[in-house]
Structure 1
Amino acid sequence: MSTDTSKYKLNHSMLRIKDPKASVKFYEFLGMKQVNKLEFPDNKFDLYFLAYDSPKAVSHGNHWTDREGIIELTHNYGTEDDPNFKINNGNSDPGKGFGHVAISVDNIQAACQRLEDAGYQFKKKLSDGRMRSIAFALDPDGYWVEIICQKPVEETENVKETDTGTYRMNHTMIRVKDAEKSLAFYKDVMGMKLKRVSENKNNGFNLYFLGYGRDAPDNSPNGVNPVAEDEGLLEMTWNYGTEKDPDFKYHDGNSEPQGFGHICVSVDDLDAACSRFEEQKVQWKKRLTDGRMKNVAFVLDPDGYWIEVIQNEKLKQRSNW
């Protein structure tokens, strides 16, 4: 029994939501499609899985476990009727840790205008600040959705149309305390490739983009992220010096205040992958053998973020999801 990390996929990122009608509507407006829904009425929650699935999408028509760049929305029954219920978006203390999800688009000015015309709010518009090639929209729960461009912004300034079928769910950003430890974990244990590093020495932070699949191109047009057309990447943000503070800790999203839940990796052979993780001496949140659900496991990364591990059902059937 063996496992091949080159066949792993960064399948989804889980966000807790207040109102599924509003949240599903927002992500569908961004061009996503609901590719699966799992209902757990006995436990009083539902899971909605949204992904890009147009004929131009990377994983068009694939089983949901055989994709990258899915957003899983978790709805606990009744929150939509509670006026005091609020999600932690991960960007302010005491809940700081997760940062955002990001989509890449064909024509960024037109994409942002379309969102604005629909009445959606922004954390940062294209015209705000010095960086004119990225924007941050806000979803109904206040999660930040970064919008990046697949083409140089000067090429799309006068383009009025945008095709959501070309969009990608590009990455999920988490803040990390110790870049070296986190890089070693995601590369050596999870089998990811380091695809891009963006050093911001003047501002005291670095960004690291990791994922599976193809290597990043050697160059790209000015202002364009070289991995903008990829899906299912992990962006790690490291602020210089946090690794030297023994008391410093990021919030994992699963203790109060709750928001982001986990990222999920689908693997070629779930039993073999978990055996390999055991050999790597990972810290477990849930082994396969724990609890009633024998088809999911959860590993903890160096910051305590949860990583769900599931079977890629295209490669080996295990669960009737």
Structure 2
Amino acid sequence: MATDTSKYKFNHSMLRVKDPKESVKFYEFLGMKLIRKLEHPDAKFDLYFLAYDSPSAVSHGKHWTDREGIIELTHNYGTESDPEYKIVNGNTEPYRGFGHVCVSVDNIQAACARLEEAGYRFQKKLTDGRMRHIAFALDPDGYWVEIISFNHIETTADIKETSVETYRMNHTMIRVKDHEKSLAFYKDIMGMKVKRVSENPGAKFNLYFLGYGAEAPDTSPNDTNPVADSEGLLELTWNYGTENDADFKYHNGNDQPQGFGHICVSVDDLEAACARFEEKGVSWKKRLTDGRMKDIAFVLDPDNYWIEIIQNESLKQRASW
């Protein structure tokens, strides 16, 4: 049976959290909704799936496996009361790897003011540094949440209101050692398309935005980032020269100490997709037939990041979640 990569979706990004109540509260404040909770008391962990679900949201009302731009929060029982427990956010040496998730908003100045007034911390405010068009908020565990605008920020400077119902979970950023190997993997193996490239030779890094669906426009009608109003993109950050250092590697978030866990792609036919991955010679963390959980598989990308593979239940029913 064949599998069609054009039907794949970049479903979610998983983050381990210390206190789910505080983390869910933060992402709900950003306008997301808890669309599914999977409890695993025997294994002592719960999963919280949050996504934008207003009537104007891209994936409004869809089954959670038939969406893009979900954030999955994983809570291992007891961490909330353990004073020694903390995650690594992927941005501190020597554990850099995962960088951030990103939410795109209507009026960035008002959106940032709203977060600040609610008492949430920032890694970078709009007024910090040279880049005055982006900000980085911090979630309760210290994960970076980039805030960008899908409107021209000069036109929103005097607007004091923001509507969270218009927000998008735009992208997830991971750092990659060798951009050519990673681009080939995500395009040829995972079936993604390059939507946008941002080259920054002065600062010696490039950004590659990939995703499923239609090709992205070259320009935006608002003269902004043409993919800023998209949902479910993967941003690969490549710092020049890392590919030439034999000893260089990024932290995948699953080796100790832990934080970010994986990204997840939902597919049209799980068995057929995994058979195709096998034919392509991928490295596996978990084959579909391994272990007790027969409804998920994990592929490893060139930097050893985990990619969960699940069935899109709207295309073919398989699991009862």
Fold match by TM threshold 0.5: yes
Instruction: Provide the secondary structure at the position in 1 that maps to 2:37.
Output: strand
Q: Distance in 2 between matches of 1:258 and 1:267?
A: 27
Q: TM-score normalized by structure 2?
A: 0.99
Say whether residues 1:70 and 2:90 are aligned partners: no
> For the Cα contact (< 8 Å) 2:98–2:175, is it kept in 1?
yes
Unaligned regions of 5+ residues in structure 1, if any?
Answer: none
The number of residues matched between the two structures is 321
Match for 2:206: what amino acid? Answer: N
Q: Which residue of 1 aligns with 2:173?
A: 173
Instruction: Provide the secondary structure at the position in 2 that maps to 1:203.
Output: coil
Q: Which residue of 1 aligns with 2:51?
A: 51
Q: Which residue of 1 aligns with 2:263?
A: 263
Instruction: Provide the secondary structure at the position in 1 that maps to 2:202.
Output: helix
Q: Distance in 2 between matches of 1:218 and 1:181?
A: 25
Match for 1:59: what amino acid? Answer: S
Superposition map of 1:290-309 within 5 A: 290-309=290-309
Q: Which residue of 2 aligns with 1:247?
A: 247
Instruction: Provide the secondary structure at the position in 1 that maps to 2:273.
Output: helix
Q: Which residue of 1 aligns with 2:282?
A: 282
Alpha-carbon distance, 1:249 to partner? 0.4
Q: Distance in 2 between matches of 1:218 and 1:237?
A: 20
Match for 1:129: what amino acid? Answer: G
Q: Which residue of 2 aligns with 1:211?
A: 211
> For the Cα contact (< 8 Å) 1:152–1:221, is it kept in 2?
no
Q: Distance in 1 between matches of 2:223 and 2:199?
A: 15
Instruction: Provide the secondary structure at the position in 1 that maps to 2:265.
Output: strand
Q: TM-score normalized by structure 1?
A: 0.99
- Superposed CA offset, 1:178-225 (max 9, x none): 000000000000000000000000000000000001211121257621
Instruction: Provide the secondary structure at the position in 2 that maps to 1:291.
Output: coil
- Superposed CA offset, 1:27-52 (max 9, x none): 00000000100000000000000000
Match for 2:274: what amino acid? Answer: C
Q: Which runs of 4+ in 1 moved over 4 A?
A: none
Alpha-carbon distance, 1:175 to partner? 0.2
Alpha-carbon distance, 1:131 to partner? 1.0
Superposition map of 1:129-168 within 5 A: 129-168=129-168
Alpha-carbon distance, 1:93 to partner? 1.5
Q: Which residue of 2 aligns with 1:13?
A: 13
Match for 2:293: what amino acid? Answer: M
> For the Cα contact (< 8 Å) 2:219–2:225, is it kept in 1?
no
Q: Which residue of 1 aligns with 2:314?
A: 314
Q: Distance in 1 between matches of 2:117 and 2:101?
A: 21
Match for 1:237: what amino acid? Answer: T
Match for 2:296: what amino acid? Answer: V
Alpha-carbon distance, 1:72 to partner? 0.1
Root-mean-square deviation (CA, aligned residues, Å) is: 0.8
Give identity over the alignment, percent.
78
Match for 1:6: what amino acid? Answer: S
Q: Distance in 1 between matches of 2:29 and 2:206?
A: 32
Alpha-carbon distance, 1:94 to partner? 2.0
Q: Distance in 1 between matches of 2:79 and 2:290?
A: 28
Instruction: Provide the secondary structure at the position in 2 that maps to 1:202.
Output: coil
Match for 2:58: what amino acid? Answer: V
